[in-house]
A and B are shown apart, each in its own frame.
Chain A
Amino acid sequence: MTVLIFALILFPACANVPQAPAAYPIAGVVVDAVTGAPVPRVELWTFVKNAEMKIIAGEDGRFRFTALEAGKYPLYGQAQGYVQEGYDQHGAFFTGIVVGAGLDSEHLVFRLHPQAVIHGRITDEHGDAVRHASVRLFASSNARGMRARGVQLQTQTDDLGEYRFAHLLAGKYYLAVQAQPWYAQAGLKWRNASMQNGSSFRRIEVKLDPTLDVVYPVTFYPGVLNERSAIELNVTAGSREEANIQLQAVPSVHVILTNLPVDEKDANNFGVGANQKIFGSFAAVFPAVSGQISPGEYEIAGLPPGEITFTINQGANPQEARMFSANVSEDNTLDVAASTAALANVSGRVIQQSGNADMQEAELTITGKDNRSASTKLRKDGTFSFASVQAGTYKPYIALPQGGQYVQQVAASGAKVHGRQVTLDGSHEAQLTITLARGVGQLMGTAQLDGKPKAGAMVLLVPESGENIEDDSRMDQSDSDGTFALREILPGKYRLMAIDDGWDLEWANPAVLKPFRENAQIFEIVPDGSTKATVNVQRSTKNTPR
């Protein structure tokens, strides 16, 4: 069952269904996931008709919800010193509790994980506390079947330079700190010499105080500047890890950007930003200072040395932002025209295979690397155009107000197509033909182990062709009666498998998935079709302790 975040506030429209007697309980005991001992006075809650129902368990860890109608319920628990989680939660999934005639919902064992805490102190080169430093906790997770590090939490240091991350699950974590020296004063170094006739320009260097023209580079635990040297914190349930980081100020880098296209009408119609990519997922933005030296020439100051991604925003349209990366070490001059990927216009047409949905309100988005994306509304006849798209590889997505259709096929002239991705080289205009199809399918069923329904199993559906694994795979966790539901599946051929405790597997990796594929069933998902399946749970060969 996938997780609901917070209570909705609307009553659902009343359906005319004969009311089943509200007579079923959800009961059990809450135990410490590490020691197995009962946890007293845990707060537990579920949702009944979108309204929250909360109770407190007893001193012996026992709890009981009563008078529930037959159905499926989410169950959450929270206690001081423990992580707030859903019943048998793994990432975004947990086991829903199914109650009704003939079902046992009274002997639940809710394993609550003792929280781990990571805390520490950020100091400067003198050993003094650094206040208001932004500390980010990256967790290593397996959400899309691949190891990825994403920001889980962020906080600021207090007056003692201390930070604290609590309610953490066991796992591998990384820390990155971003701060400015309290005494730093970012200033521009270059000034325009000529003011009189305005035709010739000469750069004059302004003397800045080197004591104040400093920055802290983004620093990783235990105190390194290169993310590859970052040390991971391997944290177990219930542990307290101390991670202190010392920051060192370095002279600020001043970059001159030349060869920027000049906006004749409005010289102020310009914005430049700089950020550093962390662990491939997060962009740490620098509070840089920028200013024009002369038309087409800008200075950006207050940067640390390293690999920086610049974003140039000219014009009101944020989609016309251009990005490029450069490794800056001392004062550099960067030619923007040479560094940015070429821009080209992209136009085309969206075709519906069936159905006559009104295209006018539809929105087409092309998403590239770095979460760069461009969106536009379609015209009535389904045609569209994007101006000034930077070269790169993009995936198109369609959003129709009434939903129900998806991008099935992409064809292009002036660009390369691979699957549902299109690669633009920016040198010439590209014409795209995007074909939509309607009707997604669903697959529901029961996961079984040794002939009996298995709760909490990881149910996975991957495309048989092995293509588009990231977009087209579907996953669910079987509920207390072994049932699962996979929805919004794009028509095609898939393999269905259920893996007991497979949550740490890198299933997007064909080599990892190979032993499980052999015992998997193949299904053909048809548009608007609903398929039923019973799947045998395979044991995962890797027993990862939690």
Chain B
Amino acid sequence: MLRRLHAPVLLNTFFALGLSLTPSAARQTVSERFDLRGKVINAATGEPVSGALVQVSDQESLFTQSDGSFVFTNLPRGQVALAARKPGFFNDRELGHSNPGMFPMTPVPFEGDAIVKLTPEGIIFGQVKNENGEPMDEVAVRAERWQVLDGRRQLQIATETRTDDEGNFRLAELLPGNYYLAFVPVDGGMRNDFRRKKQGAEGYGLQFYPGSPDVAGAIVLQVRPGTQLRMSQMFGRQHLFEVAGIVSGTKPEDPFQISFVSSSGDAVMRNLRLNPKTGRFQITGVPPGSYMLTATSFQRGSDGQVSYSQPLTAMLPIHVSSDLSGLVLSLGAGISAAVQLRDEVQGNASPNNFHQVVVRMIPKEFPQYAPAISVPPSPDASRAPVRIEGLAPGTYSVEATSTGAGYIASLRCGSVDLLKDDLTIAPGSAPPPIEVILRNDSPQLTVALENGMAAGVVIYSQEYSRRSLAAQIYNGTISISGPNLAPGIYQVFAVNDVSELEFRNPIAVERYLKHAKVVSLQPGDNASVRVMIQQSAESQQ
């Protein structure tokens, strides 16, 4: 196992040391040379790995022998960074275990064999069949996993492939973890069997293993290092439905288009019929589920040319469990919300210090359709409020980010504190203006680790969980200040691995709060706190 160094050795210091050992400099030191022997082994089985490429501090490289061994000769005394790689394996860096800027070093000379571990990849393979037992080809197969991005858990696609003509698929290079398998027939598989009495359309829509239309009913596949899972997916035919309606508010000469996207991000475009003159549309072969229907029209300017910069949009989230008709997408008649910025940033009001805030309205079910607006849009724009247009009724979480100096001191819509709560827009209503207050009297917080040099630190806000922050400490301490740190009361704690922690979710952080330090930060404060590193429950080992 590589020895981790606890003395603060910085990587650049090492390289300076390494490069300065030119022959002339060596005359000044004892020109001892050493061999470095080692072995590359499979982290799951302990077996040797042959044919792996081992590199010493980005200089020399060797392939391991059939017994996994390697020997670097003629190395000077000091420290080297030893790394190995081979297709079909992940090394420490690829697993995300070693932090950039802090590389485990191996001392030269080294007692015994230096062991380098490689973690074998996970593989999921199998076959997709329909209800008649016939193989299905051209089905997209995705391995998806929950990943924490910016404190929020999102389902991300790890890797994707398609079934071949025999219905077979293979997904390789999977990191150890928990996965869901999603199957999406590419052509929708819609068939109209004219000999049937009932003229219902049937076909195949997206399915998660073993047969659920959404991730809630899906079964998790645990992929451990070196696992090869064989799966068999049977597709059942579903009833497919028809969605029809009209797009209003377009002029016949303005081009417009419709998009129809499921909550998993797949577009159902194959059976879309659109009449550009009347605005009527009809989409057939739709599997049950949640979808976002969007119409976009590009208007002609006064010069008669079509302008692509100011499109009119209308969005309508719908749930399909039967045929739907009479839907109306009203371009330009959606709900609009005004956004006002109160800039209370003090000092430094030079033209170079442009204070701007980006406000995003994130629909609960379709986070990928979040309209955003910059306030003010440009340095010389007027101070009048700007508007987000074309919003559909529904529930939104509203986020504001400062693009430069300052932090978001307050974000409100009427009586709703948007830093804490979601905004619900009822049909036909007009929400009060969204008010953003920007300040720069941000406090500064220094966090020091009591029992280590490297850890993830979470600065958690109970009141405004969205104000919670996470950062990585490499050298024992870190200093955090604006624009992201707002005044308030925080609970500070450290964990050895913060990458999988939903630090904005009160349930996820609860277990760590017992040993967190509470700190109250007033505007302009300069505070410091020491914390112990706790073992994180989420890290995959």
Q: Which residues of A contact B (CB under 8 A)?
A: 7, 9-11, 13, 43, 51-56, 58, 64-66, 80-81, 115, 117, 126, 128-129, 131, 158-160, 164, 166-167, 182-183, 209, 211-212
Contacts and interface: CB of A to CB of B under 8 A. Distances in A.
Contacts of B271: 52
A66 B194 contact: yes
B102 to A, nearest CB: 24
Given A159-B121, A182-B87, A183-B53, A56 B191 contact: yes
Contacts of A211: 61-63
B165 A115 contact: yes
Contact of A55 (B88, B121, B192, B274): B192
B243 interface: no
Nearest to B58: A185
Contact of A54 (B135, B166, B192): B192
Given A80-B135, A117-B165, A54 B191 contact: yes
Nearest to A117: B165
B435 interface: no
Contacts of B272: 9
B417 interface: no
Nearest to A6: B270
A159 B122 CA distance: 11
B164 A166 contact: yes
B255 to A, nearest CB: 11
A9 B193 CA distance: 22
Contacts of A115: 165
B165 A158 contact: no
Contacts of A159: 87-88, 121, 123, 170, 172-173
Contacts of A58: 195
B20 to A, nearest CB: 18
Given A9-B274, A43-B191, A51-B273, A167 B61 contact: no
B431 interface: no
Contacts of A55: 191-194
A267 to B, nearest CB: 28
B135 A131 contact: no
Given A128-B51, A209-B60, 6 more contacts: A7-B270, A55-B193, A56-B191, A159-B123, A166-B164, A182-B86
A80 B164 contact: no
Interface in B163-220: 164-166, 170, 172-173, 190-195
A27 to B, nearest CB: 12
Residue picked from B62, B123, B166, B273, most chain A C-beta under 10 Å: B273
A61 to B, nearest CB: 14
Interface string B287-331: 000000000000000000000000000000000000000000000
B45 interface: no
A510 B274 CA distance: 49
> Majority SS of interface residues in chain B?
loop
19 contacts: A9-B272, A9-B273, A11-B274, A54-B192, A55-B193, A56-B193, A58-B195, A128-B51, A131-B172, A159-B123, A159-B170, A159-B173, A160-B170, A166-B165, A166-B166, A167-B165, A182-B86, A183-B63, A211-B62
B173 to A, nearest CB: 7
Nearest to A81: B165
A164 B164 contact: yes
Interface in B116-139: 121, 123, 134-135, 137
A131 B173 CA distance: 11
A126 B87 CA distance: 14
Contacts of B137: 80, 166
Contacts of B121: 159
A209 B61 contact: yes
B172 A158 contact: yes
A53 B191 CA distance: 9
B350 interface: no
Nearest to B166: A166
Given A11-B275, A167-B165, A131 B87 contact: yes
B104 interface: no
Contact of A10 (B60, B134, B194, B276): B276
A66 B195 CA distance: 10
Given A117-B165, A131-B87, A164-B164, A158 B51 contact: no
A81 B136 CA distance: 11
B422 to A, nearest CB: 36
Nearest to A155: B164
A269 B99 CA distance: 36
Residue picked from A11, A55, A66, A160, most chain B C-beta under 10 Å: A11
Residue picked from B62, B87, B274, B276, most chain A C-beta under 10 Å: B87
Complex A-B, nearest 8 residue pairs according to Cβ-Cβ distance, in ascending order: A159-B172, A166-B165, A183-B53, A11-B275, A182-B87, A158-B170, A55-B194, A164-B164
A212 B134 contact: no
Contacts of A13: 277
Contacts of A80: 134-135, 137, 165
Residue picked from B51, B135, B165, most chain A C-beta under 10 Å: B165
Contacts of A11: 273-275
A53 B135 contact: no
A54 B275 CA distance: 22
Contacts of B273: 9, 11, 51
Interface in B73-131: 86-88, 121, 123
Contacts of A56: 191, 193
A54 B190 contact: yes
Nearest to B50: A126
A358 to B, nearest CB: 15
A13 B170 CA distance: 47
A6 to B, nearest CB: 8
Given A126-B51, A159-B170, A209-B61, A53 B164 contact: no
A167 B86 CA distance: 34
Contacts of B62: 211
A56 to B, nearest CB: 6
Nearest to B284: A51
Nearest to B271: A52
B172 A10 contact: no
A234 B456 CA distance: 61
Nearest to B257: A9
A194 to B, nearest CB: 21
Contacts of A131: 87, 172
Interface in B140-184: 161, 164-166, 170, 172-173
A31 B111 CA distance: 74
A129 B190 CA distance: 38
A257 B53 CA distance: 32
Nearest to B135: A80
Nearest to A43: B191
Contacts of A10: 274-276
A200 B272 CA distance: 66
Contacts of B270: 7
A431 B394 CA distance: 65
A128 B191 CA distance: 44
A43 B187 CA distance: 13
Given A55-B194, A159-B123, A212 B274 contact: no
A395 to B, nearest CB: 33
Nearest to A119: B164
A193 B184 CA distance: 57
A370 B399 CA distance: 52
A13 B278 CA distance: 11
Nearest to B270: A7
A80 B170 CA distance: 20
Given A9-B273, A159-B173, A166-B164, A53 B61 contact: no
Nearest to A132: B87
Contacts of A64: 194
Given A9-B272, A10-B276, A212 B190 contact: no
A120 to B, nearest CB: 14
A53 B165 contact: no
Contacts of A66: 194
Contacts of A128: 51
Residue picked from A55, A131, A158, A164, most chain B C-beta under 10 Å: A158
